[in-house]
């Protein structure tokens, strides 16, 4: 998802995509904002500005507040020029679509000024010169220039300017380029030594280093695109003029440089917080993630129990059709990866059927059908493990098959099934982390979001791991307690 | 339920040309048997001769291949018969007790009367305690089956089978799984049932007991009734070679 935005940022957002998105955005964003049309004076006005969700260091959330270079520059200019801003964090493509449909007055989102975009929007003077830079591990003194890369592997982000540049010089210097999806994982692979260097956007890299990602830059930046503030073509000229005036002023009085230094300064100037600060800061987001993990597991497992009972009994049925249906169900969902079904339900099913499927629906479907197949086998095994003499004794008393199952066989089977069911519950809880692949906001996904902003991958993963461990231990204890309580 | 003729009305069980096979294995090869009300019939014979299978055909725990079985006026072989109704008239006691381990002793006995809506819980409990008293285990009402000895378990199983007040009781080697010192207490209970005038069919290896309580002894071999008669006659003066052969091994 993140990567898609990055590609669009550097590539071109073709006109028809924007036009198609307008209709959609009108639905998503709802009521149009207050517009300040053609007013020559911006003083006292309030402007609605769209931006990305996370593109550190330009905009990202810290303790829930949107912050970053874009946000600081915008706020400073607004203060200076006497207008107010209402920022909407929409996501890159959505922000542009909202601008095209006049739902927002302007967009500031680390956006490169391109010829294609200039045809649809009016841009301010560039407020940031981007570019590509190479970085290596902090303790690596062997790689000082491109010449030292001969025979080595470097990483770059799929679809980024860094990748294009690295590939353009790879042959000349004799190195290999490996493409990865996220800045954070690129930095980790350099630190771990699976690649010697990373080519990335200079501001992103500088911010990562400032956050203590353990790298250092060793080359000068190769000039790349310039970022600008955009308004719709021919609209909000006063706002655009005010932005340019304010920017010029900031650059003159040094406030502009102060903001850049704040986010891109050398790590020696700003030491990263310790582990416990990180834990404390990331706690609220991780608790939300844990809550989603527990909720999706609980809902899915409840459904899986129903599916498992139905299909488990069907597997024991004398009717060959019922048995065949149940066996097919079990084989399909045990014989295919969980992740495949997550993609299938979230991406495939909407295309096949035209239904809108939320990430929750897709997540619950995936987990419950997968767990349902395993529970069906547990149920079948549990029932078969009950001495057939029990059913015979009950039937010989004149109780019907259903009553005998309900009163005599199932209670005993359930007792034998309990450890396996607890086991399956825990597997489902852990499997729910796979749903991050479709953007479900569970615990590991939240962890990923956190290290995408602060680049402290290992520490964040340790915290996430500890939370999973504690949650699963607590769940196991609870389940065992319930087992002892009800299955005396 | 099904038509029962005048002269057979005092017959509790009628078996006519009963055949039973498991796949290609013909286990019962044409059994004819009439059992009168209040009669105590002991079935003996070598292992694998089909004694258990015969017993289990009487309450249709096994599907009947061919022939007719009429129990307490119900044609068990009629596909339309309500087999659960028939089984309420026929109690069964198994070699391995088959008590329900997740219930107390009293609950084991109360299950059928309560679930079949014959009694409410309080009545069923009173009845269960009466039955337990009858088998000498009133103090075990709230115990779990796992805490009982083999003999006690089997006495509870008998009480459970009596809960629906059946007219017929079937026993399949009720004492075979017991330690010798516990056999007596179970036989004592069975003897009291016999004395009370209930119709009993007992598959047993206890020849002495068969001789003592049986009105009739049936010797089965190879899926047929090889010989039958009063205990004194069958044990004292067996007519068939196979019977003599069998008795010489077990007595
Ligand atoms: N459910 C079954 N499926 C297949 N064959 C069976 C089944 N039950 C019994 N048999 C077969 O039927 C035959 C008679 O078994 P049955 O249990 O009636 O003998 P029995 O006279 O009770 O012997 P025992 O004294 O050992 O209990 C045996 O050959 C046995 O293998
Ligand atoms: Mg037997």
Among B53, B81, B101, B157, the residue to mutate for chain A (most A Cβ within 10 A)? B101
DSSP-derived secondary structure letter, A437: G
Structure tokens at A327: 């066996």
Structure tokens at A462: 């340790």
Q: Do the chains contact at B61 and A393, CB–CB below 8 Å?
A: no
Out of A389, A399, A400, whose CB is closest to B96?
A389
The secondary structure of A241-297 as a DSSP string is HHHHHHHHHHHHHTHHHHHHHHHH--TTTSPPP-HHHHHHHHHHHHHHHHHHHHHHH
ipTM, 2 dp: 0.93
Out of A392, A398, A403, whose CB is closest to B88?
A398
User: In chain A, which residues have their Cβ closer than 8 Å to the Cβ of B84?
Assistant: 398-400
* Tally of residues, chain A: 488
- A107-128 residues labelled b (16+ CB within 10 A) or e (exposed): bbbbbbbbeebeebbbbbeebb
Ligand nearest the Cα atom of residue B63: 1
Ligand 1 atom 25, closest CA: B47
Please provide residue A441's backbone torsions phi and psi, each rounded to the nearest 5 degrees: -80, 50
Cβ of B22 closer than 6 Å to ligand 1, yes or no, is yes
User: In chain A, which residues have their Cβ closer than 8 Å to the Cβ of B92?
Assistant: 393, 396
| pLDDT for residue A35 | 39
CA dist., res. B242 & res. B42, Å (int): 17
> CA torsion A398→A402→A406→A412, rounded to 10°?
80
CB B251: neighbour CB atoms within 10 A?
Answer: 9
CA dist., res. B119 & res. B163, Å (int): 11
Q: What pTM did the predictor assign?
A: 0.70
Cβ of B25 closer than 6 Å to ligand 1, yes or no, is yes
Out of B61, B116, B161, whose CB is closest to A395?
B61
- In the three-class reduction of DSSP (H, G, I as helix; E, B as strand; rest coil), residue A237 is classed as helix
Cis peptide before A293 (omega within 30 of 0): no
Out of A393, A400, A408, whose CB is closest to B84?
A400
CA dist., res. A324 & res. A310, Å (int): 13
User: In chain A, which residues have their Cβ closer than 8 Å to the Cβ of B59?
Assistant: 396
Ligand 1 atom 12, closest CA: B27
Q: Does A400 touch chain B (CB under 8 A)?
A: yes
CA dist., res. B239 & res. A125, Å (int): 122
Cβ of B128 closer than 6 Å to ligand 1, yes or no, is no
Nearest residue in chain B measured CA to CA from A409: B100
Place of tokens 């939240």: A446
Q: Does A172 touch chain B (CB under 8 A)?
A: no
Ligand 1 atom 6, closest CA: B22
Q: Where does residue B95 rank: exposed (0-12), middle (13-18), buried (19+ CB within 10 A)?
A: middle
CA dist., res. A259 & res. A261, Å (int): 5
B→A interface, C-beta within 8 Å: 59, 61, 84-88, 90-92, 94, 96, 98-102, 111-112, 115-116, 157, 160-161, 163-164
Percent of chain B with pLDDT over 70: 96
| pLDDT for residue A279 | 84
CA A54 centroid distance within chain: 10
> CA torsion B145→B151→B154→B160, rounded to 10°?
-70
Q: For residue B47, how far is its CA from the centre of ligand 2 (angstroms)?
A: 7
| pLDDT for residue A292 | 96
Q: Does A395 touch chain B (CB under 8 A)?
A: yes
Q: Any idea what the Cα angle at residue A442 is, between residues A438 and A444, rounded to 5°? A: 90
* Tally of residues, chain B: 251
| pLDDT for residue A357 | 83
Q: Where does residue A397 rank: exposed (0-12), middle (13-18), buried (19+ CB within 10 A)?
A: buried
Q: Do the chains contact at A393 and B98, CB–CB below 8 Å?
A: yes
Tell me how far apart the terminal alpha carbons of chain B are, to the nearest angstrom: 43
Q: For residue B52, how far is its CA from the centre of ligand 2 (angstroms)?
A: 4
| pLDDT for residue A243 | 95
Q: Do the chains contact at B116 and A398, CB–CB below 8 Å?
A: yes
User: In chain B, which residues have their Cβ closer than 8 Å to the Cβ of A412?
Assistant: 100-102
Among A389, A392, A397, A410, the residue to mutate for chain B (most B Cβ within 10 A)? A397
Among A391, A392, A393, A418, the residue to mutate for chain B (most B Cβ within 10 A)? A393
Q: What is the mean pLDDT of each run of 10 residues along chain A (488 residues)?
A: 37 40 41 39 88 83 80 94 89 81 90 89 94 91 92 86 89 92 84 91 85 85 89 93 94 92 65 76 90 97 96 93 96 96 87 83 96 97 95 96 94 92 95 89 87 80 96 92 79
Q: For residue A354, how far is its CA from the centre of ligand 1 (angstroms)?
A: 60
| pLDDT for residue A350 | 80
The secondary structure of A196-217 as a DSSP string is SEEEEEHHHHHHHHHTT-SEEE
Out of B59, B84, B94, whose CB is closest to A389?
B94
Residues forming a β-bridge with A177: A154
C-alpha distances (whole Å) from B231 to each of A44, A232, A484 are 117, 111, 53
| pLDDT for residue A198 | 94
pLDDT (tens digit per residue) in B171-204? 999 999 999 999 999 999 999 999 999 999 999 9
């Amino acid at each position: 998802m993140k990567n898609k935005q990055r590609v669009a940022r550097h590539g071109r957002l073709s006109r028809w995509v924007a036009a198609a998105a307008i209709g959609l955005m009108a639905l998503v964003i709802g009521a149009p904002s207050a517009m300040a049309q053609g007013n020559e004076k911006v003083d006292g006005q309030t402007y609605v500005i769209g931006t990305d969700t996370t593109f550190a260091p330009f905009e990202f959330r810290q303790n829930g507040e949107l912050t970053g270079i874009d946000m600081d520059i915008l706020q400073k200019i607004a203060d200076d020029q006497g207008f107010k801003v209402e920022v909407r964090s929409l996501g890159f493509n959505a922000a542009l679509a909202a601008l095209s449909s006049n739902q927002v007055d302007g967009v500031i989102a680390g956006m490169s000024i391109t010829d294609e975009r200039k045809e649809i929007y009016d841009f301010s003077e560039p407020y940031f010169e981007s570019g590509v830079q190479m970085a290596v591990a902090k303790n690596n003194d062997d790689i000082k220039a491109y010449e030292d890369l001969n025979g080595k592997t470097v990483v770059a982000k799929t679809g980024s300017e860094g990748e294009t540049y690295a590939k353009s010089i790879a042959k000349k210097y004799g190195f290999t380029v490996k493409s990865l999806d996220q800045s954070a994982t690129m930095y980790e692979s350099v630190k771990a030594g699976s690649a010697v260097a990373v080519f990335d956007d200079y501001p992103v890299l500088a911010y990562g280093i400032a956050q203590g990602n353990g790298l250092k830059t060793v080359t000068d930046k190769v000039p790349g695109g310039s970022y600008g503030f955009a308004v719709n073509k021919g609209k909000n000229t006063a706002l655009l003029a005010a932005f340019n005036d304010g920017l010029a002023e900031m650059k003159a009085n040094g406030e502009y440089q102060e903001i850049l230094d704040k986010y891109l300064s050398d790590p020696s100037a700003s030491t990263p917080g310790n582990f416990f600060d990180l834990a404390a800061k990331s706690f609220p987001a991780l608790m939300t993630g844990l809550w989603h993990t527990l909720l999706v597991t609980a809902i899915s497992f409840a459904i899986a129990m129903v599916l498992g009972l139905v299909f488990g009994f069907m597997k024991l049925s004398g009717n060959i059709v019922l048995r065949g249906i149940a066996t097919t169900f079990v084989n399909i969902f045990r014989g295919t990866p969980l992740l495949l079904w997550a993609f299938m339900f979230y991406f495939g099913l909407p295309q096949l059927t035209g239904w809108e499927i939320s990430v929750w629906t897709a997540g619950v479907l995936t987990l419950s059908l997968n767990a349902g197949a395993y529970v069906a086998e547990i149920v079948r095994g549990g029932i078969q493990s009950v001495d057939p003499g029990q059913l015979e004794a009950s039937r010989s008393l004149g109780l019907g098959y259903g009553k005998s199952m309900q009163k005599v066989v199932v209670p005993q089977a359930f007792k034998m099934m309990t450890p396996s069911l607890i086991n399956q519950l825990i597997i489902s809880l852990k499997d729910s982390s796979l749903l991050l692949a479709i953007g479900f906001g569970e615990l590991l996904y939240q962890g990923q979001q956190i290290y995408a902003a602060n680049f402290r991958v290992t520490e964040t993963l340790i915290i996430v791991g500890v939370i999973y461990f504690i949650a699963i231990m607590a769940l196991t204890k609870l389940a065992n307690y319930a087992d002892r309580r009800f299955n005396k | 339920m099904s038509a029962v003729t005048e002269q057979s009305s005092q017959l509790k069980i009628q078996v006519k040309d009963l055949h039973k096979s498991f796949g290609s294995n013909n286990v019962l090869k044409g059994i004819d048997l009439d059992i009168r009300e209040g009669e105590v019939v002991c079935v003996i014979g070598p292992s694998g001769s089909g004694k258990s299978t015969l017993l289990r055909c009487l309450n249709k725990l096994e599907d009947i291949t061919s022939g007719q079985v009429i129990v307490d006026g119900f044609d068990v072989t009629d596909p339309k018969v309500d087999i659960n109704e028939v089984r309420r008239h026929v109690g069964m006691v198994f070699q391995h007790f088959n008590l329900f381990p997740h219930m107390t002793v009293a609950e084991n006995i109360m299950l059928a009367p309560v679930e079949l809506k014959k009694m409410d819980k309080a009545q069923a409990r009173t009845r269960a305690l009466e039955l337990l008293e009858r088998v000498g285990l009133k103090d075990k009402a709230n115990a779990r089956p796992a805490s009982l000895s083999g003999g006690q378990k089997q006495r509870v199983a008998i009480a459970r089978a009596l809960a629906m007040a059946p007219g017929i009781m079937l026993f399949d080697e009720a004492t075979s799984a017991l330690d010798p010192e516990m056999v007596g207490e179970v036989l004592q209970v069975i003897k009291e049932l016999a004395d009370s005038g209930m119709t009993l069919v007992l598959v047993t290896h206890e020849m002495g007991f068969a001789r003592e309580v049986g009105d009739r002894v049936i010797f089965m071999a190879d899926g047929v009734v090889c010989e039958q008669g009063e205990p004194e006659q069958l044990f004292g003066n067996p007519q068939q070679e196979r019977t003599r052969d069998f008795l010489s091994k077990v007595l």
